Structure 1
Amino acid sequence: MPPAKRPASPFTPLDFQLVLLRRMADHNPRLLEEARHTLGASAADMREANRRWQAMLHAPRGRAALSRYRSVLGEPESVTGRRIGDLSCEAFRWPVPLWPELRFEVLAAPKGVVWNEWLVRAPGAPAPVLRTLEDLAPWSCTVDEAARAFAPARPLEGTAPTRWGLAFAAADGSGVRRECAAEFTWGLLQRVAVTGRP
């Protein structure tokens, strides 16, 4: 008779932070390694957390997205109503210990359907000063901060789920304005490529 399977340990906020990092692994290995060490987790821990998260996402009888976040992250720090165009929704926000100045935000329609999940600046936390390309360091800003600083910015299709892109013009170190494309994972800046001049 095969040995009984041990029940899986609960999926914790630490595991969720490892999932966020796993999606960022392609861009900034040094930042990722530093963050992983801060969390006291190994590369194997990160892979296992991501495997378990993917299993939850694709389970035949898995929880709805909002319920899944509540079960993993607990009750949100804040829930606020928001209107985006013609859509009324609620913004649920949870603290992220790895990035104390950020919050993980989930936007949900009235029936609980989640249509956006990303990192945003925490209320009251100072926003970064973004004026030139040199200010756009990896992990320095969120999608909405970059879009406001370099308006008018144009959204670009992300290269994978949880990734977003922005196209905009920004001045380089010599003051020359250049066309740029920025890539974000979970709403946090990962890299910027100069694509030309306006």
Structure 2
Amino acid sequence: MAPMPTGQRPPAPFTPLDFQLVLLRRMADHNPGLVEDARRALGASLADQREANKRWQAMLRSPRARSAASRYRSVLGEPESSAPRRIGDLECEARRWRLPLWPDLRFEVLVADRGVVWNEWLVRAPGAQGPELRTLEDLTPWSCTVDEVARAFAPARPLQGSAPTRWGLALAAPDARGRRHEVTAEFTWGLLQRTAVGGR
């Protein structure tokens, strides 16, 4: 291996802290205030967040990029749990990691045959108490996940996300006075970001 030029440092490893900043970067479009508070809780600056996102995008686009499943393991370490999962005809493995920023959630990656990642998002941690979702007012940003909203307001209809890592649900929900509304719920990395009454 050729020696590194004098004065040039090897790139710093991409850490779980960096990965959390990447998640926050996608959420900043909808909830900049929550993102700023979370970033401060992590002890990171806006420049840190931009740099983390820049490095993550470079990792995704590199011609030598490893598979998505391998990338998550290299960044987040060994998963906290791993279990077989069947979704329709798809057999996969659900791998979950703990992220300090959301202690009641886990980052879940569904890995199908040959290491292909089928889905990647935040889910409620096993044993953690989820929110009671009964009315429109309960759907507050960052309070709940895609599957929690889909169960609470079934039947909810999946919607095409506006960008990668984003999801939508169309559902009917009563407000605090009992009046029902058609609602669009938008999620980033599986976490609720905002709702719009009246659908799209």
- Superposition TM-score tier, normalisation by shorter sequence: over 0.9
Secondary structure at the counterpart of residue 37 of structure 2? helix
> What amino acid is aligned across from residue 28 of structure 1 in structure 2?
N
Instruction: Give the counterpart letter for 1:60 in structure 2.
Output: P
**Greater shift after overlay, 170-179 or 150-159?**
170-179
Q: Percent identity?
A: 76
State yes or no: 1:114 paired with 2:117: yes
1:44 aligns with 2:68: no
Residues 44-66 of structure 1: CA deviation (Å, up to 9, x unaligned): 00000000000000000111000
Could you say which residue in structure 2 is the equivalent of 1:187? 190
Cα separation, 1, equivalents of 2:63 and 2:74: 17
Query: Structure 1 runs of 4+ off > 4 angstroms?
Result: none
Q: Does residue 15 of structure 2 align to residue 23 of structure 1?
A: no
Is there any run of 5+ residues in structure 2 with no aligned partner, and where?
A: none
1:18 match: secondary structure: helix
From 170, 174, 177, the counterpart of 2:173: 170
Query: Hey, what's the Cα distance between the residues in 1 that align with 2:129 and 2:113?
Result: 31
Taking the aligned partners of 1:111 and 1:76, their CA distance within structure 2 comes to: 18
1:78 deviates by: 0.4
Query: How far apart, CA to CA, are the structure 2 residues paired with 1:99 and 1:189?
Result: 13
1:132 counterpart = 2:135: yes
Letter matched to residue 48 of structure 1: E
CA distance in 1, matches of 2:136, 2:149: 11
Of 80, 93, 96, the match for 1:93:
96
SS in 2 for 1:100: coil
CA distance in 2, matches of 1:17, 1:6: 24
**Once the 2 structures are TM-superposed, how far is the Cα of residue 30 of structure 1 from its aligned partner?**
1.1
Q: Report the Cα distance in structure 1 between the residues aligned to 2:67 and 2:8, rounded to whole angstroms.
A: 26
Distance apart, 1:184 and its partner CA: 0.1
| Inter-partner Cα distance in structure 2 for 1:77 and 1:102 | 12
TM-score, normalising length from structure 2?
0.95
Question: Which runs of structure 2 are paired with 1:32-71 in the superposition (5 Å)?
Answer: 32-71=35-74
Structure 1 length as normaliser, TM-score? 0.96
Residue correspondences, number: 195
Q: Which runs of 5+ in 1 are unaligned?
A: none
Give how far 1:29 is off: 1.2
How far apart, in 2, do the equivalents of 1:24 and 1:34 lie? 12
1:39-95 CA distance string (max 9 Å, x none)? 000000000000000000000011100000000000000000011001110000000
